[in-house]
Chain A
Amino acid sequence: MIHDMLLPFECRQAKISYSGKLMADVEFQYLDANSPVVRERFNFGQFPIMLKSKRCHLQDAGPQKLKSFKEEAAEMGGYFILNGLERVFRSVILPKQNYPMSMVRNSFRDRREGYTDKAVVIRCVRKDQSSVSVKLYYLRNGSARLGFWIQGKEYLLPVGIVLKALVDTNDHEIYENLTSCYGEKYVKEKGAVGSQLVGERAKIILDEVRDLSLFTRFQCLQHIGEHFQPVMDGLRKESYHVVAEAVLRDYICVHLDDNYDKFNLLIFMVQKLFSLIDQTSVPDNPDSLQNQEILLTGHLITVYLKEKLEDWLQKAKKLIQDEIDKESKTFDFFSLAHIKKVMEKIPSKQIGASVETMLKTGRLVTQTGLDLQQRAGYTVQAERLNYLRFLSFFRAVHRGASFAGLRTTSVRKLLPESWGFLCPVHTPDGEPCGLLNHMTSNCRVTSYYDSQGKIRDFSKIRMSILSVLIGVGMMPSLPKLVKSGPPAVLSVLLDGRVVGAIPSSEVEKAVAHLRRLKVSAASLIPDDLEVGYVPLSMGGTYPGLYLFTSPPRFVRPVKNISLPPEESQNIELIGPFEQVFMEIRCPDGGDGGRNNAFPATHEEIHPTGMLSVVANLTPYSDHNQSPRNMYQCQMAKQTMGFSLQAIRFRADQKLYHLQTPQTPIVRTSTYTKYNIDEYPTGTNAIVAVLAYTGYDMEDAMILNKSSVDRGLCHGQIYQTETIDLSTESNKSDRGQRMFKRNKDAKSIHSSIDSDGLPYVGQTIYPGEPFCSIYDKTENKWQTNRRKGSEPVIVDYVAVDMKNNKNLLQKLICLSLLQANIRFRHTRNPIIGDKFSSRHGQKGVCSQLWPDIDMPFSSVTGMRPDLIINPHAFPSRMTIAMLLESIAAKGGSLRGKFMDATPFAKSVKKANGETKSESKSLVDEFGETLKSYGFNYHGVEVLYSGVYGTELTCEIFIGPVYYQRLRHMVSDKFQVRSTGPTDQITRQPIKGRKRGGGIRFGEMERDAMLAHGAAYLLHDRLHTCSDYHIADVCSLCGSILTTTFIQPQRRAVREIGGLPPPRAPKKVICRACQSSKGMETVAMPYVFRYLAAELAAMNIKMTLELSNGAAA
């Protein structure tokens, strides 16, 4: 069946990119007269399409349809298929947009002479998510400079000039505005931010401008234009005035369109800066989630595409300009056809390709840097090792590659501000610890779409918020009436625009009102509006009311309990900025020592909301030592599980698959919620905690051989080899190579079918051929042979017919250009494989112990599947594992799944009473066990399988969910007796794949020396390495000048029938021209190499030979 749709699974199989054509209309309009707008369509090439996005064939497809498209029934999309590989965008943390942040950084001092380490920084973001950062530096002389980057260089302007250039104003007005935050009567009051120095500084700022003899707005614009004309692209010929307007428009507070708004915001920023200097407010922490948001795929692509399109238009403009300058007859500027012809010279199709390359490599190719901290590492390959790993790629948030190399660890710190948004448990340990975080299960990110999936109209939303604010007593900033600041009135910023001021007495009421409207469905106020009310404080964060509606913010749901309870809708979405100043109760029983002084207005929905999906799956994680939960989060992601349901249609390079997975008896509510049963990752094994045979020492564990025989933890690795004949050879002789079997080579007929590809179901042993290729031009046969050390089974063979659809005649003669051959490795547990429970308790299988030798219970006759050592518990304190064992035992006796949701005890049930308050968990399980005739504490009396006598201790035994980790000996063992050697040094090569050896290095040598094991040392480093017998000339002491002399064959002596007599080996020194004094000496071959290298540098090495005794 050939259909026109290119489906994602076909892309995966054919190793091509899932993309669509990007067409765009370019509008042409002549400025003179009222000429009409003409649209011309341009093709911008193939643009990668995210799966399940609006342009994807899978969009809105239900499970049935997805299955028919050979996808997972529960496919979530959100990634790209590029060259057959699935790549996801790695979200990165960015500074919060449109919020002026006060910062203290030593690097600010190095900007120029006279700068301090203090500044107010704002990342201004336009509607299309492109951003420009502006920094307001404080100078030692009391003035301030505005800094912004143009083409990789920072330009600094006095604020006064910018303020004056923005609007028609006078010195008095600026002074009034700047000093409005200072009122004499409030000086010592709570929340006062100004000091009398503010006036002085305002004067300095104004004096600076006057000293440059700039008085009017026009003069300021001229001044700016004059300085920026050389750097503003395409404006070289415009007047200073126009250039200055462009600078203000494109680089200063770009999120605002109106100059008055920009003016007001700058005033606010200067006030905040002065407050930072006067220490009436503290600097904002850029590492805290409070001041952060997230970079999403779509936004980066938009910004990147925008830049590429701008580049394209710039080039077009330049080309047209050149044509006009040439004044050639063939070009008519007023003919659209001509212009289009010129524009088509610039390759437009590269734009789609450049976006694809960006996603393929994760690297931004850009001149401006797009106001981003890093250039590379934006995408990663989404591995489908198991469901949890795959899921985590979409929940991961990286702090930024630039922080990875940093020696300071403050960025990695777990800050309380991230509570509820980033999981404290789910972060890897080691190098990326604290930098790579994961969103909690409740956390989401706001977007351009509302909850109904409709595009938001932000201007409308802002208008309605404004009207609400004015309704609750805000004075709008235009017309300018308010000449006062905190603590009397608070500035109100809506998405980085100073919209007005509100009396501090009214704020709380206004905030409560806004929150009520947020929750109610009827109002136009969006449910994810962030109401960042920073209250007045004694030198805390700069106060104000900051409202945010813009997209990529973190939000999470909490219950608003200040609302009347009869309102059914009380789930409010809050952001990290506002949450810091809110009173949110967590149902853990305590009030955090707040003593009713600050009554809670909100309540957490469930304490597990602070954990990520993966961390939420650990049963009873509240009973574990915390690092163990972190280890589990990592190990869950390396588990062999049921990786995919559509595994038949996949061509992934490597897939791990567990043959008979089970659903855990003990599970959390998250397990059910996320349907992990679709992709289970382990087996319920009967685990006995006991020191038996000694083979369970040091985190080793004993597996019951019979259990393994019966299928415990059996698994497979699916490995696909793609043979692409079109890329292997150069394009010129394309189609000359084909899959074909040599009729004469009978030996390969057993493993290769007549089409040159292997039989499905065939076992292929290492070194055997699995596919045969015929080269038509050279008339050569080639067979691909299996590498590796284990036999594999051919699982699936797929050939790509679509790629050469244009060459229909070739289809007939069955010349296929690409084949995917999927092999299956059976990987049943063997000694050395790694297993782990769900509590960070990993272990290596040390023995497959016979069933009859395992201890057995005399009551049930049960033998454990697995034995672990009791020493695994005391220092690690994984109490939850013991609880799991006991709970699972009770659960299996009762025939019920056990709920192991952490913090369950502190959560009230729907009817208001806490769950079995008096009883502890253990008591609950103990009673169950006892009622079924088992020991209260989960221990049992076992008998030695070898002797049949009682083991004189009680043994803790019960089912524990065990995961098989992907680390297997079969992939790791390295042995060698003899094998390939290095050409130059004749020492064994390194590398497991190539059959190399393991380095016996310096430290190992030291150990041998310390033991005096000279013979062993000699064996390792010489006999088994590069043993060499060299001929040395004792006359000149050289080893390089000696050569063999080939004795001349004399034809005369040859007698027919007799073998020629072996000529004696003759060695001669070329330097001495004699064969006297030739000696043979055993030495490492590298020594000869050293002599040769030294000779190349004109250094002669002389050996002095003597008898051992004489030395």
Chain B
Amino acid sequence: MEGMSYQRFPKVKIRELKDDYAKFELRDTDASVANALRRVMIAEVPTVAIDLVEIEVNSSVLNDEFIAHRLGLIPLTSENAMSMRFSRDCDACDGDGQCEYCSVEFHLNAKCRTDQTLDVTSKDLISADHRVTPVDFGDPAAYDSGDQQRGIIIVKLRRGQELRLRAIARKGIGKDHAKWSPAATVTFMYEPEIHINDEMMENLTLEEKKAWVESSPTKVFDIDPNTGQVVVVDREAYTYDDEVLKKAEAMGKPGLVEIYAKEDSFIFTVESTGAIKASQLVLNAIEVLKQKLDAVRLSEDTVEADDQFGELGAHMRGG
């Protein structure tokens, strides 16, 4: 074992990148790394979310906890969350969680004075820090007509009802509460490898080919209108549902197609809540992952570390 290196050099190829959406390939690594990345993106990349609500006046129909819970779930822009402190180990405020290093204060003050129902939205949350604000979902291009209705509705007020509160947002991770998770969805798929047995395929009639192609719920295969040959249109549309394999079996042609999942190649889809840009989410995740590994490395020589990590510790020492 000694001297043998497990080191690999994973490659990332970005396919698509939007503010809240990213799609990329991760190659030359294995499922453990891919899954670790997924797990960290969902649960351990820090963001800022409202954690403490002091309600001064609440005469709305929703009770205090309900409103506090709703406020907590509003995604806040957390670009600087990585550099913020967790309030539990903030020295400036003794873990009080109310200082500028670990918290951001919000104010909300709304009262309905007309007969029309007033929607209190995330737009009404006034932040003390311009870097931490409720996420703006308004896509100006798409939602131009409905001008005022853009934020996330917190509560609706009728005439005379009032909501006044102070909220404190803190840094946290999704493991503790889902409101700190920056990811709406993170998933990866194994890149499929599809081999069509051309010889067998040639023996099929056009009807049979059509039926076979149709058997897949997603459009993976198609028939070339010119040559009449079955071709793979979209490899990645394959969902590993084995429908085509079953169909081939049912047609009495087992082995018509062979599909494998590549063990070292993954296609990631990342959707962000808007708290962090999707690209940043991936980078932060790698950063967090590195920190976690550092934590392991720092305790390398201790006996406890060997107890805890065993072979992994040795592996890390060996590099």
Binding site for B on A (CB under 8 A): 648, 659, 705-707, 709-711, 714, 716, 761, 793, 795, 824, 826, 850-852, 856-862, 929-930, 932-936, 939-941, 945-950, 954
Instruction: Check: B122 CB closer than 8 A to any chain A CB.
Output: no
Residue B181 contacts which of A706, A761, A859 (CB distance < 8 angstroms)?
A706
Q: Are B178 and A706 in contact (CB under 8 A)?
A: yes
Binds A, one of B12-20, B34-42, B107-115: B34-42
In whole angstroms, what is the CA distance A824 to B243 when docked?
52
Q: With A941-B240, A947-B32 given, is the CB distance from A858 to B188 under 8 Å?
A: yes
In whole angstroms, what is the CA distance A861 to B217 when docked?
18
Binds A, one of B60-68, B145-153, B301-309: B60-68
Most buried by A among B190, B219, B237: B190
In whole angstroms, what is the CA distance A710 to B273 when docked?
13
Q: With A852-B39, A947-B35, A949-B31 given, is the CB distance from A934 to B178 under 8 Å?
A: no
Instruction: Check: B189 CB closer than 8 A to any chain A CB.
Output: yes
Interface residues of B in 224-280 (CB under 8 A from A): 237, 239-241, 243, 261, 269, 271
In whole angstroms, what is the CA distance A7 to B289 when docked?
65
Residue B69 contacts which of A705, A714, A852, A858 (CB distance < 8 angstroms)?
A714
In whole angstroms, what is the CA distance A857 to B240 when docked?
11
Closest to B37 in A: A948
Q: Are A950 and B187 in contact (CB under 8 A)?
A: no
Residue A852 contacts which of B43, B218, B271 (CB distance < 8 angstroms)?
B43
Q: Are B178 and A933 in contact (CB under 8 A)?
A: no
Please name the 8 residue pairs, one residue from A and one from B, whose CB atoms are nearest each other, closest first.
Answer: A948-B35, A861-B187, A709-B178, A861-B185, A706-B178, A858-B189, A948-B31, A852-B39
Instruction: Check: B58 CB closer than 8 A to any chain A CB.
Output: yes
Instruction: Check: B123 CB closer than 8 A to any chain A CB.
Output: no
Q: Are B177 and A856 in contact (CB under 8 A)?
A: no
Closest to B31 in A: A948
Q: Are B187 and A851 in contact (CB under 8 A)?
A: no
In whole angstroms, what is the CA distance A709 to B172 when docked?
14
Q: Are A950 and B69 in contact (CB under 8 A)?
A: no
- With a cutoff of 8 Å between Cβ atoms, the chain B residues found around residue A954 in the complex are 241
- With a cutoff of 8 Å between Cβ atoms, the chain B residues found around residue A711 in the complex are 69, 73
Residue B240 contacts which of A707, A795, A826, A950 (CB distance < 8 angstroms)?
A950
- With a cutoff of 8 Å between Cβ atoms, the chain B residues found around residue A934 in the complex are 217
B239 to chain A, nearest CB (A): 5
Closest to A705 in B: B178
Instruction: Check: B55 CB closer than 8 A to any chain A CB.
Output: yes
Q: Are A929 and B66 in contact (CB under 8 A)?
A: no
Q: Are B217 and A930 in contact (CB under 8 A)?
A: yes
Q: Are B31 and A947 in contact (CB under 8 A)?
A: yes
Most buried by B among A714, A859, A934, A945: A859
B314 to chain A, nearest CB (A): 22
Q: Are A857 and B187 in contact (CB under 8 A)?
A: yes
Q: With A941-B240, A948-B38 given, is the CB distance from A710 to B187 under 8 Å?
A: no
Closest to A857 in B: B187
Q: What are 19 A-B contacts with C-beta separation under 8 Å?
A: A648-B61, A709-B178, A711-B69, A716-B65, A795-B63, A850-B43, A851-B43, A851-B178, A852-B175, A859-B189, A861-B186, A862-B185, A933-B239, A935-B241, A947-B32, A947-B35, A948-B35, A948-B38, A950-B261
Residue A793 contacts which of B64, B261, B269 (CB distance < 8 angstroms)?
B64
Q: With A941-B240, A947-B31 given, is the CB distance from A933 to B63 under 8 Å?
A: no
In whole angstroms, what is the CA distance A824 to B62 when docked?
12
Closest to A714 in B: B69
- With a cutoff of 8 Å between Cβ atoms, the chain B residues found around residue A861 in the complex are 185-187, 269, 271
Binding site for A on B (CB under 8 A): 31-32, 34-35, 38-39, 42-43, 55, 58, 61, 63-66, 69, 73, 174-175, 177-179, 181, 185-190, 217-219, 237, 239-241, 243, 261, 269, 271
In whole angstroms, what is the CA distance A929 to B241 when docked?
13
Residue A936 contacts which of B63, B189, B217 (CB distance < 8 angstroms)?
B217
Q: With A711-B69, A856-B187, A948-B35 given, is the CB distance from A933 to B217 under 8 Å?
A: yes
A477 to chain B, nearest CB (A): 67
In whole angstroms, what is the CA distance A1049 to B66 when docked?
67
A892 to chain B, nearest CB (A): 16
Residue B174 contacts which of A851, A856, A862, A935 (CB distance < 8 angstroms)?
A851
Q: Are B58 and A941 in contact (CB under 8 A)?
A: no
A749 to chain B, nearest CB (A): 19
Given contacts A793-B63, A793-B64, A933-B239, 7 further A-B contacts (CB under 8 A): A716-B63, A716-B65, A861-B185, A861-B269, A862-B185, A932-B217, A935-B239
Closest to B40 in A: A852
- With a cutoff of 8 Å between Cβ atoms, the chain A residues found around residue B261 in the complex are 950
- With a cutoff of 8 Å between Cβ atoms, the chain A residues found around residue B239 in the complex are 858-859, 933, 935, 940-941
In whole angstroms, what is the CA distance A1075 to B1 when docked?
81
Residue A858 contacts which of B65, B187, B217 (CB distance < 8 angstroms)?
B187
In whole angstroms, what is the CA distance A711 to B63 when docked?
14
Q: Are B43 and A659 in contact (CB under 8 A)?
A: no
- With a cutoff of 8 Å between Cβ atoms, the chain A residues found around residue B186 in the complex are 861
Closest to A853 in B: B39
In whole angstroms, what is the CA distance A824 to B68 when docked?
15
Q: Are B34 and A948 in contact (CB under 8 A)?
A: yes
Closest to B261 in A: A950
- With a cutoff of 8 Å between Cβ atoms, the chain A residues found around residue B179 in the complex are 709-710
Closest to A858 in B: B189
Q: Are B189 and A659 in contact (CB under 8 A)?
A: no
In whole angstroms, what is the CA distance A860 to B186 when docked?
9
Q: Are A860 and B217 in contact (CB under 8 A)?
A: no
Q: With A859-B239, A949-B31 given, is the CB distance from A851 to B42 under 8 Å?
A: yes
Residue B64 contacts which of A659, A761, A929, A932 (CB distance < 8 angstroms)?
A761
- With a cutoff of 8 Å between Cβ atoms, the chain A residues found around residue B190 in the complex are 858, 950
In whole angstroms, what is the CA distance A746 to B150 when docked?
48
Most buried by B among A824, A929, A949: A949
In whole angstroms, what is the CA distance A954 to B242 when docked?
10
- With a cutoff of 8 Å between Cβ atoms, the chain B residues found around residue A716 in the complex are 63, 65
In whole angstroms, what is the CA distance A856 to B190 when docked?
13
B131 to chain A, nearest CB (A): 25
A753 to chain B, nearest CB (A): 16
In whole angstroms, what is the CA distance A954 to B39 when docked?
23
In whole angstroms, what is the CA distance A9 to B173 when docked?
47
In whole angstroms, what is the CA distance A936 to B217 when docked?
8
In whole angstroms, what is the CA distance A234 to B161 when docked?
68
Residue A933 contacts which of B39, B188, B218 (CB distance < 8 angstroms)?
B218
Q: Are B243 and A935 in contact (CB under 8 A)?
A: yes
Closest to B177 in A: A709
- With a cutoff of 8 Å between Cβ atoms, the chain B residues found around residue A948 in the complex are 31-32, 34-35, 38, 188
- With a cutoff of 8 Å between Cβ atoms, the chain B residues found around residue A946 in the complex are 35
Closest to B44 in A: A852
- With a cutoff of 8 Å between Cβ atoms, the chain A residues found around residue B269 in the complex are 861
Q: With A851-B43, A941-B241 given, is the CB distance from A761 to B55 under 8 Å?
A: yes
In whole angstroms, what is the CA distance A935 to B217 when docked?
6
Q: Are A659 and B66 in contact (CB under 8 A)?
A: yes
In whole angstroms, what is the CA distance A861 to B237 when docked?
14
In whole angstroms, what is the CA distance A795 to B43 when docked?
34
B91 to chain A, nearest CB (A): 29
Q: Are A929 and B217 in contact (CB under 8 A)?
A: yes
In whole angstroms, what is the CA distance A824 to B63 when docked?
9
In whole angstroms, what is the CA distance A945 to B31 when docked?
11
Residue B178 contacts which of A710, A858, A932, A936 (CB distance < 8 angstroms)?
A710
In whole angstroms, what is the CA distance A714 to B68 when docked?
13
In whole angstroms, what is the CA distance A939 to B35 when docked?
23
In whole angstroms, what is the CA distance A933 to B240 when docked?
12
- With a cutoff of 8 Å between Cβ atoms, the chain A residues found around residue B31 in the complex are 947-949
Closest to B219 in A: A933
In whole angstroms, what is the CA distance A856 to B269 when docked?
13
In whole angstroms, what is the CA distance A709 to B51 when docked?
13
In whole angstroms, what is the CA distance A121 to B235 when docked?
82
In whole angstroms, what is the CA distance A714 to B42 when docked?
22
In whole angstroms, what is the CA distance A950 to B271 when docked?
22
- With a cutoff of 8 Å between Cβ atoms, the chain B residues found around residue A939 in the complex are 241
In whole angstroms, what is the CA distance A859 to B61 when docked?
40
